[in-house]
A and B are shown apart, each in its own frame.
Chain A
Amino acid sequence: MKSHIFSAIRLTLVLLALCCIVYPAFIWGIAYFTPSHGHGDMVEVNGKVVGYALIGQSFTADRYFNGRPSAVGYNAAGSGGSNKGPTNQEYLASVRAAIDTFLIKNPAIKRTDVPVELVTASGSGLDPDISPQAAYVQVPRIAKVRGISEDKLKALIAQNIQGRLLGVFGPVRVNVLQLNIALDHTK
């Protein structure tokens, strides 16, 4: 027992050195040679950092493509979902309210065309994406606010669609931040 204790302490120390100093230092070193140098992909507009490509931002204004609801208000100092159960009455009421709000803001859209992700919160609260449908349903509103033709907006969305992995796997999506940056550059 006693010998086990001292062996265990010494073994712990050498393993700490291996796993907690050598290994992370090595990964850190590799990170330096990656495109983002391990800082996360930053997005710049006119030389000014406006965010991270991976981290969703709050877009509530009518002139922008809106993202999904967030339980943390897109403040990436924290993260998390609503953690509401599927039969929670308060929660269902809030979803109903979100649908109604959306329909008021987008009167051209039929109720059956409201995509579910636009009225439900993501798991991280930082979801950077929406589906192409969720972007398309916002086109009439933005066209009206910005005075850009719907076709042009649709083309913009189409340009910003990120396809499936290897063309086969996973969902098709649109990064809201990048779409909106592109939108700002569209006249």
Chain B
Amino acid sequence: MHAEIIGVVATFIATVLLAIPLGKYIAKVLAGERTVLDFMAPLERFFFRVSGIDATREMTWQESLVALLTINLIWFVYAMVILMIQGSLPLNPDHNPSMSPDLAFNTAISFLVNCNLQDYSGETGVSYFTQIGVLMFLQFVSAATGVAALAVVMNAMKERTTDKLGNFYNYFVKTITRILLPLSVIVAVIFLLNGMPMTWEGRDTITTLQGDTVQVSRGPVAAFVPIKHLGTNGGGFFGANSAHPFENPNYLTCIVELVSQSVLPMALVFALGFYLKRRKLAVMIFSVMTIGFLLLTISTVMLEMKGNPEIARMGIDLHSGAMEGKEVRFGAAISAYWSILTTVISTGSVNAMHDSYMPLSGMNQMLGMMVNCFYGGKGVGILNFYIFIIIAVFISGLMVGRTPEFLGKKIEAREMKIAILIVLLHPFLILVGTALSSYFAAHDTAMGYWFSGKASGWLSNGGYHGFSQMLYQYTSSSANNGSGFEGLSDNNPFWNITTGFVMILGRFLPIIGPVAIAGILAQKKYIPESAGTLQTDTATFGLMVFGVIFIIAALAFFPALALGPIAEHFSMH
């Protein structure tokens, strides 16, 4: 039992220790300082020349957003087209079919927005061409988009008054060439050495020892999985995601996958500190995130190691914990850790099936996504946190008797309006989506085109857990997480299309909002600090931010959680 916990603790510590130097490196890359990978510069210059981009021209926040949205639109069109014709494209040894329009819509958006919700199964739903040429491509670029947006915001947080916030393309391309790609190669090599396949051959048919004939899906997995985690994307090569033995062969790869999905979100927090030369601020942010993360993690690890009380009543040996949906080579402890890590950051990859976790573990997973900023997704985690800081600064600024300011910039009505809209958006998308689906499920509506059969048919579990399945799906979509209570039948127009829209809104508005706020603040006059200025890098302020997150982001979901996981939990006891 305790040996398992040592693995969890060691993984976490290793991640933090790696994140600090990596954060320093990222800060240097984004600031354009000398780094070890400067030999990439000619390649980058070549890219810019071919694309007709002047990467030294500084952009305003509006221009950056236009560039970001334009290139995302192009990716969306590209992905949508390929998904719908993949059946006739090469590199499809298993002859998987083209996607239906609604599934293609959902999948294209899902990977475009770094969500990686998968309403298909990797083995049967996509070709190798799609896996590498569309999905993996989007995993690279969507992660880099988030980092580039964060870079614009970080640039805007400097102590000066300007509307020139660096070049979006420059940040974007360098994130790929100097951060994501090199790290992917390193991680891929580790995977290859641990038996992860990297082949273009299709399914293998074998006769097993016992004499059954089964097929074994394979593919270029080792290229795909590194960026899936480094980019906090989480979309699995196989249906079972990182629970699949080819996608996660052993405990070592499990640790590597855990570290690689969380090290960049953590490193970006440190990068912020190094970049702005405000290390204490970074430490404050990191501490708040870590405390939130640990609160969720510790209770989940305990619940999963204890096991399912219903099964305990059956009187069997429960010392491995809650093993439904989990793999023996990982065990309950690190699976619990994974489930929280993957939901607090927006990866959404799983090494065990979330649907079968204990009710309160499921709640913790959902809370991780509802809050969506304890570390958070690539770049966007800090952007979400930034919004909470703005609101906390506003309230606590008043509490020390000054009109609120953050990093020397006054926070006024306009910024407040944007911040509030972004804060509103997340509960709106989640609760309205869940309300819609529970309405249909409650009335068992015949769904026609939208779903074959009656609405309650999309639930694999009834009662409170069924409600949790729907709540989880929209929470995961809005948080751009991509994990799921996979028992939900989600490959149908209703779920594909509604979650598709939730994913788009849940991605781009929370990028546009913070970039706009930071851009507006950057244009304001810089006010130097005085003894009366609110200190934002203190533990007290950290507590305030935590309180704001708790009351706005977590408590707003309390009634919904009470009807789902909380009711389910107490019904077991």
Contacts and interface: CB of A to CB of B under 8 A. Distances in A.
Direct contact of A and B (CB under 8 A): yes
Interface of A: 1, 3-12, 14-16, 18-20, 23-24, 26-28, 30-31, 34-36, 38-41, 45, 49-61, 64, 68, 74-88, 91-92, 95-96, 99, 111-117, 119-131, 133, 164-165, 168-171, 173, 177, 180-181, 184
A12 B198 contact: no
Given A120-B326, A124-B244, A171-B320, 12 more contacts: A4-B66, A8-B74, A10-B50, A16-B133, A24-B136, A27-B192, A27-B223, A28-B223, A31-B222, A50-B206, A50-B209, A51-B206
A30 B334 CA distance: 30
Contact of B6 (A12, A131, A169): A169
Contacts of A55: 216, 245-246
Given A50-B206, A77-B216, A8 B67 contact: yes
A80 B195 CA distance: 20
Interface stretch (B29-37, B266-274, B347-355, B538-546): B347-355
B563 interface: no
15 contacts: A6-B52, A28-B200, A30-B192, A36-B197, A40-B218, A40-B246, A50-B207, A50-B208, A58-B208, A60-B210, A78-B239, A81-B355, A124-B245, A128-B329, A164-B3
Interface stretch (B182-190, B407-415, B519-527): B182-190
A80 B52 contact: no
Nearest to A32: B198
A28 B328 contact: no
B214 A83 contact: no
B317 A96 contact: no
B383 to A, nearest CB: 22
Nearest to B123: A78
Contacts of A54: 195, 245-246, 249
B328 A127 contact: yes
Interface in B1-42: 3-4, 6-7, 10
Given A26-B185, A82-B325, A169 B251 contact: yes
Which of A55, A86, A115, A180 has the most C-beta atoms of chain B within 10 angstroms of its own C-beta? A86
Interface of B: 3-4, 6-7, 10, 43, 46-47, 50-53, 66-67, 70-71, 74-75, 78, 121, 123-124, 132-133, 136-137, 140-141, 169, 173, 176-177, 181, 184-185, 188-189, 192-193, 195-201, 203, 206-210, 212, 214-218, 220, 222-223, 238-240, 243-246, 249-252, 254-255, 307-308, 310-311, 314-331, 334, 350-353, 355-359, 460-465, 468-469, 485-487, 568, 571-572
B244 A24 contact: no
Given A8-B67, A41-B195, A28 B220 contact: yes
A96 B308 CA distance: 13
Contact of A51 (B209, B255, B356, B462): B209
B320 A79 contact: no
Closest 10 CB pairs of A and B: A83-B487, A123-B243, A85-B465, A170-B251, A38-B198, A79-B240, A81-B353, A31-B198, A54-B245, A169-B7
A122 B326 contact: yes
Contact of B487 (A28, A49, A68, A85): A85
Contacts of A78: 121, 123-124, 217, 239
Contacts of A26: 185
